[in-house]
């Protein structure tokens, strides 16, 4: 590729994660990144390598995953959207395309990241929404969960909520928001942080649900946080209800921070 002629593009992507082995490319080819790069290669008629804002695990969904790549091709933005989507599976779709400065990096330029967890509270397991939500059959106490969640807000060492496979250089992160609301039979948990450790949201969810079901008192959350040990926390919660809402960038970049799928999730 002629570097002088190359330009950098950012794409916003939405996908269902239940049929894929996470985001990151693997020899099996059964990942979201593999499917995206294969589609881009078909459309661009040349190899295209992408970098994403936040890797997602097996079963985790994306509402506004952002990737960037360099290309010498000069094509309209809508052409990249429609052309790439032509070659993508039906559960992955490019939502938008924007040119970005050469120094833009989908991961490193992010000022924060957002996740959403959707949880069904029902005596009956999910059916239509299978694969798209977590599930509990015992009633949850919203006030207790909010009291527990409040103890995590701020900058902390989140080692108790960190996977043993986590490659982050530091366990210290700033959790800016953990809002809990109910919509009919569904609970919605909104997370925003400077960054997240591997399995951090799902490990927090395991603890919040333990409190909500009355297995632990709200004050237990502070004890788990202070322990700085994964053994102190509850088991990792199911991936099905977890959605990567997307990264947060400086406003002057003009990148969309929402997609249509966000209106569909309760």
Q: What is the pTM of this model?
A: 0.95
What CA–CA distances, in Å, run from 196 to 36, 94, 183?
A: 24, 24, 26
Same fold yes or no, 7-109 and 112-244: yes
Based on the residue annotation, tell me whether 57 is a catalytic residue of this protein: yes
The encoded tokens of residue 54 equal 């936040």
CA 193 from centre of chain: 12
Whole-angstrom Cα distance, residue 135 to residue 125? 7
Q: Which CATH code is given to the segment(s) 7-109?
A: 3.30.70.580
Q: What is the pLDDT of residues 119-164, one digit of tens each?
A: 999 999 999 999 999 999 999 999 999 999 999 999 999 999 999 8
Q: Compute how many other C-beta atoms are within 10 angstroms of the C-beta atom of residue 183.
A: 10
Q: Compute how many other C-beta atoms are within 10 angstroms of the C-beta atom of residue 228.
A: 15
Q: What is the pLDDT of residues 40-69, one digit of tens each?
A: 999 999 999 999 999 999 999 999 999 999
For the domain made up of 112-244, give the CATH fold. Answer: Alpha-Beta Plaits (3.30.70)
Whole-angstrom Cα distance, residue 218 to residue 212? 8
Domain residue spans of the chain: 7-109, 112-244
Tell me if residue 170 falls in helix, strand or coil. coil
């Amino acid at each position: 590729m002629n570097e002088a002629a190359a330009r950098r593009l950012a794409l916003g992507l939405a996908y269902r994660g239940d049929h894929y082995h996470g985001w990151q490319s693997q020899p099996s080819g059964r990942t979201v990144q593999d499917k995206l790069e294969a589609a881009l290669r078909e459309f661009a008629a040349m190899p295209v390598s992408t970098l994403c804002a936040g890797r997602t695990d097996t079963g985790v969904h994306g509402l506004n995953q952002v990737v960037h790549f360099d290309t010498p091709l000069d094509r309209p933005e809508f052409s990249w959207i429609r052309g790439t989507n032509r070659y993508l599976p039906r559960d992955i779709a490019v939502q938008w395309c924007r040119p970005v400065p050469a120094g833009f990096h989908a991961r490193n330029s992010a000022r924060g990241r957002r996740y959403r967890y959707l949880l069904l509270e029902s005596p009956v397991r999910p059916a239509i929404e299978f694969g798209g939500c977590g599930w509990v059959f015992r009633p949850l106490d919203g006030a207790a969960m909010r009291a527990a969640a409040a103890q995590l807000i701020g900058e902390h060492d989140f080692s108790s909520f960190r996977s043993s496979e986590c490659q982050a250089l530091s366990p210290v992160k700033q959790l800016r928001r953990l809002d809990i609301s109910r919509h009919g039979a569904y609970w919605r948990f909104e997370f925003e942080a400077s960054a997240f450790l591997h399995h951090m949201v799902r490990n927090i969810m395991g603890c919040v649900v333990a409190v909500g079901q009355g297995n632990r008192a709200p004050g237990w959350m502070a004890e788990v946080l202070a322990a700085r040990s994964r053994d102190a926390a509850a088991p990792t919660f199911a991936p099905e209800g977890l959605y990567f809402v997307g990264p947060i960038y400086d406003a002057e970049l003009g990148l969309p921070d929402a997609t249509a799928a966000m209106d569909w999730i309760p």
